[in-house]
Each structure stands twice: as C-alpha cells, then as structure tokens.
Structure 1
Amino acid sequence: MSKPVVAITRPKDRAKKACEIVEKLGGSAILAPTLDLEPVNTESLKNLVARKDELDWIIFTSPTTIVSLNKFYPDFIPTLKCKLAVIGNKTGKLAEKNGLTVDLMPEDFTAEGLIEEFKKREITGKIIGIPRTASARPVLPQELEKLGNEVILAEAYKSLFPMDENAVQELIQKIENKEIDAITFTSPLTVENFFQIAENKEKLAQLLNDNLLVVCIGPITAKVLEKYNIAYIYPDTYTVPDMMELLFKTWREENE
C-alpha cells in the first residue's frame, strides 16, 4: 500500500506536531497554511491585564492566547489567582506547563461544550476574562453573559489571511493533479481562506469530493465545509491526534 499524501492547512506555528503525526502513521505531509496567527498587544488586552485581580475566571481557548500573554505581559500568568477554564488538551497542557491549574475543561472541545459546563455548575455573577482573536465566534461571551456573568473580552492575537498564498496555490495545483490523498482543516477560517484563494470554488469543491478524503477537527469546522457542499468526516474527540488517527484508519479501509 502506498503512503497517503496529507495536506495540512493549519497555521505554520501549530503545524509541526500534525506533520509529525502524519509521518509517524506512515504518510507524507504537505504543509500549506491557509491561516496565520499573530500575537497583538491591544487596548482590550491591556484592559484585561489591568483588571487581573478582579477576575473570578479566565478562559483560554487556544495556545496562541498563552503565547501572546507571555510575550507582552510575562508576569500575568505566573500571578493569576482566578480559576481557569480551557478548551482543548493542547491549551490545557500549555497552561499547566506555565504553572497553572486547569479547573475546567469540557469533554466537548467547543465553546458550546464549555458553556454547558458553566450551566451545569450554575456559574453566575462572576467576572470572566476571555483573551482570544477578534474573529472568534460570539457564542461564548454571549452565553456567559446570559448566565449573569460579566465578560471582559480581549483581543490577544489576530487571525490573518495566509502570508504565503503561493504555497496554497501550489496545493490547489497538486489537488488538480491528483497528487494529494487527504486534506485536513482545523478551524472555520482554514476552510474559508482556502476557498477565498481558489479561483474556481465549485471546481475545487468537486475535486475534494471526487478525489480526496476531507477530515476536519470537529462540528464547527464541518459547518463551513457543508456550506461548500463538501463531504467530510471528523473524530469523536476534537483533537489533532484523533483527527489524524481517523484519517489513516478511514484511508486504509478505503484503499485495502
């Protein structure tokens, strides 16, 4: 059986582990980030840092949030005294590596999963800080406020259009040449930007459906793929390792 060629579209600074997993599972990885992340020191982030001692909870939704806070405010995380909620294993592990204790991580690694946990615990009347990207979905702060909490939103990093469009164009060419066996998407923007770069979106969607195994990290990203009428699969647990395990299991079953 030949080695599957797997396209990785996640940001470059997060792609190393994904590429390593592909190689470990017996595939070949092609990296073409359709999203770039840049830490930023915004006024809203300064405000959150200034109000640190008022916080009852802080929520980290991605590792990049932690990277940004450490870059601009290295004393912030070591002196946090509030409770911590995270979305995802990777974010939780990085928080613990930075000396924090994770008080809450939902089994469902989505904003909705975290909201359900806050509802179950009847967390209300609290001040909750959420440093994240401005392009994130509004559901988390909105629902937490509906529960009677005060939410301090802070932009900690920007989600940018790919800095290397040529790499994505080259990936599209490889897809047209049937040189790619599978493609992975780890966030809604990785899908949106991918199709924004494509000159013929309908043709690209057809190529994905006809020739590639499309795997995404979870239901939120899946909704964007549905918008482009693309067939997909995603794992029960929304992590990159589980996504890759599912990809290789499915690919081998289809190519035996």
Structure 2
Amino acid sequence: MSRPVVAITRPVDRSKAACEIVENLGGEYVLAPTLDLKPVNTPSLKNLVANKDSLDWIVFTSPTTITSLNLFYPDFLENLDCKVAVIGNKTGKIAKNQGVNVDLIPDDFTAEGLLEEFEKRNITNQIIGIPRTASARAVLPEGLEKLNNKVILAEAYKSLFPMDEGKINDLIAKIKNKEIDAITFTSPLTVSNFFKIAKNKEELANLLSNNLLTVCIGPITGKILDQYNINYIYPDTYTVQDMMELLFETWRDSHGR
C-alpha cells in the first residue's frame, strides 16, 4: 500500500511533533517551513515583566511565548501571582509542566474562543498581560478592552519570513511533479509566506486545489486559503493531531483504503 507524502509548513521548532504524527499514521513527510520564529527581548516585554505583580491575568497564546520568557526571564513563571489562560493544549501542557496553574483553556483554540470564555465569565476591569508576536491579530486585545479590561501587550517573539527559501522552492517543484499528496498549514502566515515565495501564485493555487489534499488547522487559517480559491478541509478540534488524523482519514477514503 502506498504511503501519502505530506508537506509540513510549520516553523522548525514546532515541526517535530507534526512529523512524528505523520510517520505514526503511516505516511512520509517533507518539511518546508514557511515561517521562522525568533524570541526577542523587546521594551514591551520588559514592561510586562516589570508589571508582573500588578497582573490579574496573563494569556499565553503559543508555546513560543513561554519559550521566550524562559530564555530572557527564567524566574518569571515562578510564583506567578495571577490567573493564567492559554490557547491550545500544547501551550497548556508546557505551562503545567513548569509548575504553572492554568485556570482557563477554551474549547475553541482561537483568540475568538478565548474571548468568548472571558465574556461568559464576565471578566472585566482586570489587568491582563499578553506576550505574543507583534504580527498577531488584534481580535483578542481589542475584545478584552471592550470588556473594560486593561491589556498590556508584549512582543515576545518575531514571526519572520522563512530564512531557507530553497526548501520551499523544492517543495513547489515536488508539487508540480506530483510527488506530494497533501499539504498542511497551521497558521495564516504559513499560507501567506508560501505564496509570497511562489513565482506563479495562480498555478500553485490550482495545483493545491486539484492535485493535493489541502488541510489547515482551523477556519482562521482557512480564510487565507479562501483568498486563493483553494479547496481545503479542517478538523472540528484545532490541533495538529486532529488535523493529521483528518488528513489520513480523508486520503484513505479517497484511495479506497
């Protein structure tokens, strides 16, 4: 039985689990990161750390936020005297493994999902710290401020254009040669950067729609694929595990496995 070849576009430091999942499910992977992440100790992060004791809540939106704080302020997570919200099980697991009590993980692993939980719980007039990348959407801080909360935003890492464009061009060549069966995207930037590098965006979009099974992690990433009129699917639960399981289930159904 043939094994599907799956393209993974995640940043290198977040790709290990995805690659292992593909292999465990019986496939092969081609890793071509379309996004690089770099922890940075910015003035806004220093300001957040300086105001640690005044926080009522802190929100960790990704594992990289925790990585950055551990790198520059290794004592920050110790004796954190505020409530903690996280987006995603992986982020929650990392926080818990470091002794942080997680008070809130929304069922919907998106900024919208977390905001909905804050609204349901009527969390207002709080000081909320959000370390994240500056390129993140404004949905969460703006929504929290509409609930009369004070938000302290801090740039904890940069989302960079991929350093190794060669791997992406190699992936595009493999797609044209029909050597790839499926491609995965786990954030809007993984899609946007992929198409920025492509010389013929319309041709690539047609290939993804007609020759590949395109799978994204959720509807927010799907909106970027919509801009290129690409057919795609995404799981009910927005995790890498569920995304890959849906990919393999769909691929096997289409191949009569």
TM range (shorter): over 0.9
Task: State the match for 1:28 in structure 2.
Answer: 28
Task: State the match for 1:221 in structure 2.
Answer: 221
Aligned pairs for 1:117-132 within 5 A = 117-132=117-132
Paired AA for residue 116 in structure 2: E
Aligned-pair CA distance for 1:148: 0.4
Task: State the match for 1:175 in structure 2.
Answer: 175
What secondary structure does 1:79 align onto? Answer: coil
What secondary structure does 1:77 align onto? Answer: coil
Aligned pairs for 1:95-106 within 5 A = 95-106=95-106
Matched, 1:251 2:243: no
What secondary structure does 1:129 align onto? Answer: strand
Task: State the match for 2:113 in structure 1.
Answer: 113
CA distance in 2, matches of 1:173, 1:94: 37
What whole-Å deviation, never above 9, does each CA across 1:107-154 have from its counterpart, x for those lacking one? 000000000000000000000000000000001000000000000000
CA distance in 1, matches of 2:179, 2:12: 21
CA distance in 2, matches of 1:11, 1:84: 25
Matched, 1:136 2:130: no
Task: State the match for 2:90 in structure 1.
Answer: 90
Matched, 1:190 2:153: no
What secondary structure does 1:234 align onto? Answer: coil
CA distance in 2, matches of 1:3, 1:78: 46
CA distance in 2, matches of 1:212, 1:140: 33
Matched, 1:212 2:212: yes
Paired AA for residue 135 in structure 1: S
Aligned-pair CA distance for 1:45: 0.1
Paired AA for residue 212 in structure 1: L
TM-score (norm 1): 1.00
Matched, 1:11 2:48: no
CA distance in 2, matches of 1:86, 1:143: 16
What secondary structure does 1:172 align onto? Answer: helix
CA distance in 2, matches of 1:17, 1:220: 22
What whole-Å deviation, never above 9, does each CA across 1:219-250 have from its counterpart, x for those lacking one? 10000000110000000000000000000000
Stretches of structure 1 that go unaligned for 5 or more consecutive residues are none
CA distance in 2, matches of 1:158, 1:95: 20
Paired AA for residue 5 in structure 1: V
Stretches of structure 2 that go unaligned for 5 or more consecutive residues are none
Aligned-pair CA distance for 1:210: 1.0
What secondary structure does 2:78 align onto? Answer: helix
What whole-Å deviation, never above 9, does each CA across 1:64-94 have from its counterpart, x for those lacking one? 0000000000010112110000000000000
What whole-Å deviation, never above 9, does each CA across 1:27-48 have from its counterpart, x for those lacking one? 0010000000000000000000
Aligned pairs for 1:143-158 within 5 A = 143-158=143-158
What whole-Å deviation, never above 9, does each CA across 1:176-203 have from its counterpart, x for those lacking one? 0000000000000000000000000000
CA distance in 2, matches of 1:10, 1:79: 33
CA distance in 1, matches of 2:80, 2:224: 36
Task: State the match for 2:81 in structure 1.
Answer: 81
Task: State the match for 1:53 in structure 2.
Answer: 53
Which 4+ runs in 1 deviate beyond 4 A? Answer: none
CA distance in 2, matches of 1:5, 1:142: 40
Task: State the match for 1:237 in structure 2.
Answer: 237
Aligned-pair CA distance for 1:204: 0.1
Paired AA for residue 225 in structure 1: L
Paired AA for residue 95 in structure 1: A
TM-score (norm 2): 0.99
Task: State the match for 1:161 in structure 2.
Answer: 161
